[in-house]
Structure 1
């Protein structure tokens, strides 16, 4: 076993000068040493490293006895660190050892990441520290002695592996903090709240989705201009010529205010023209165009996902292909509703009023 495995274990185990009792009742000291640990014992860093090397002798011997596939030094070091953490009995019955003896080294490295849970407060949780430790061991396992193999992106674009989706945790890993209360080790949840994300900068450029929706809205407005029906011109009585007494000189408009419409002199005896009836509120065009744009984007994205996603082996209802078609139907529905409302608006309210009712 090389120095790399020893340093990896020391970094994750942590140095403990005085012996402490773990929650399961065992005593531990140094870098995770439990065989000779007892109450009141103390050890220096040099002696703790010597105890660690002593513990790793049995681990290395077991790994040599149980593995029949040729390994590199990095692979052997990573497996020793992995077995030291989960225990020799768990390692002997793990899928990692089985896949290594089958010659599937890459699958064995992926199987190492599944050992990330622990029992805490009556439930089995994903521990943040174990996730990081498995990642470090997997990195050491996959580090080739002869150098890295080339995997250029233009030649080998990565695709989502649907067979390994179980590696993504369904719940957030829990960070545990270790505290010493006398000679006992107490584990507590790290209740430190996660830092809140900074508010978006108002000067920040809009996202590509918003920019694409705005461009599509402008194109639809150019194709389907907003046609507003104009009311028929009403006959207005001609104003009488104002007399010399009633005539007033025109005053200059105040600077900075909106110019008002010219006033028309109306005699007192002349009835005031009735104000035109308020037209019913109509659906604004920009929301309809935005709804149509969203529908087209959803339908296009669903088509892209449907032809690029790999179907899962179980073929369940919630497969990527089924979800893509469902989103595509939603996109078609949004575009259809928007198109119907825009065509209804272009027809105008007057046409519906002129139509004969069911009773003639």
Structure 2
């Protein structure tokens, strides 16, 4: 079953492609061919594009949906490893921009299919040139795709494994015990006074210990 291109991915592509409701020569065209319209749509069986042609916004949106679904089918066919929805979307945006053939022959795809997920952001960043010249728009797009690729991923140090805190263990840490000891010592000195002072100190001590325990547990469970 073909994967769905989410509304988020459609919005992402629209933001970087821009839309023109009149036919214009493709930026890389020779002698004005092929003509392009909408969100970078070139002539095919779904919508033929000719010089002087204009379309509605609804037609532009429909052509984009058609084109993205074709790219999504190619990405799904070419990628042999599991992808999250965001990872899939990032590759659809990338392949839509560079073309299915370039994506199929890319080192990005080769490394990804070998299981090297971490190589993808750097591989994306390499595709930021036009005719050998770095383009700011392409650099920004690759950065956005890398951000989409990483969105929702769990990030941890590569030397220290992330793990949830242990509230009980945190209460027994040396720094916690030291702080509690200081509090108890001060309370003991004050408690040598009148019964009224002893009662007040006792209440303050109970409250203070409760606050310390609450703060430690809250920090550990964040």
Report the TM-score, using the length of structure 2 for normalisation: 0.63
1:3 CA drift (Å): 1.0
2:9 maps to what in 1?
5
Bigger relative CO (Cα 8 Å, ≥ 6 apart): 2
The CA distance in 1 between the partners of 2:41 and 2:57, in whole Å, is 12
1:134 maps to what in 2?
142
1:40 CA drift (Å): 1.6
The CA distance in 2 between the partners of 1:11 and 1:70, in whole Å, is 27
1:81 maps to what in 2?
93
Cα offsets for 1:261-284 (capped at 9, x unmatched) = xxxxxxxxxxxxxxxxxxxxxxxx
The CA distance in 1 between the partners of 2:151 and 2:20, in whole Å, is 30
1:109 CA drift (Å): 2.0
Q: How many residues align?
A: 148
Report the TM-score, using the length of structure 1 for normalisation: 0.39
2:22 maps to what in 1?
18
2:115 maps to what in 1?
103
- C-alpha contact 1:116 1:134 (8 A) present in aligned 2: yes
The CA distance in 1 between the partners of 2:142 and 2:37, in whole Å, is 23
Cα offsets for 1:120-175 (capped at 9, x unmatched) = xxxx210110000000011001112xx64355xxx79xxxxxxxxxxxxxxxxxxx
1:269-280 equivalences under 5 Å are none
Query: Which runs of no fewer than 5 residues in structure 1 stay unpaired?
Result: 157-360
- C-alpha contact 1:18 1:41 (8 A) present in aligned 2: yes
2:36 maps to what in 1?
28
- C-alpha contact 1:29 1:37 (8 A) present in aligned 2: yes
- C-alpha contact 1:19 1:37 (8 A) present in aligned 2: yes
SS, match of residue 27 in structure 1: strand
Matched, 1:113 2:125: yes
The CA distance in 1 between the partners of 2:114 and 2:154, in whole Å, is 23
SS, match of residue 68 in structure 1: coil
The CA distance in 2 between the partners of 1:40 and 1:114, in whole Å, is 36
2:207 maps to what in 1?
none
Cα offsets for 1:318-355 (capped at 9, x unmatched) = xxxxxxxxxxxxxxxxxxxxxxxxxxxxxxxxxxxxxx
- C-alpha contact 1:95 1:108 (8 A) present in aligned 2: no
SS, match of residue 138 in structure 2: helix
Larger Rg: 1
Matched, 1:55 2:101: no
Structure with a larger share of its residues in helix: 2
Which of 67, 71, 74 is matched with 2:83 structurally? 71
Cα offsets for 1:96-129 (capped at 9, x unmatched) = 111110111110221010001112xxxx210110
SS, match of residue 71 in structure 1: coil
The CA distance in 2 between the partners of 1:101 and 1:148, in whole Å, is 20
- RMSD of aligned alpha carbons: 1.8
SS, match of residue 111 in structure 2: helix
1:22 CA drift (Å): 2.6
Matched, 1:42 2:54: yes
Matched, 1:149 2:161: no
Query: Which runs of no fewer than 5 residues in structure 2 stay unpaired?
Result: 162-222
The CA distance in 2 between the partners of 1:148 and 1:108, in whole Å, is 16
Cα offsets for 1:270-314 (capped at 9, x unmatched) = xxxxxxxxxxxxxxxxxxxxxxxxxxxxxxxxxxxxxxxxxxxxx
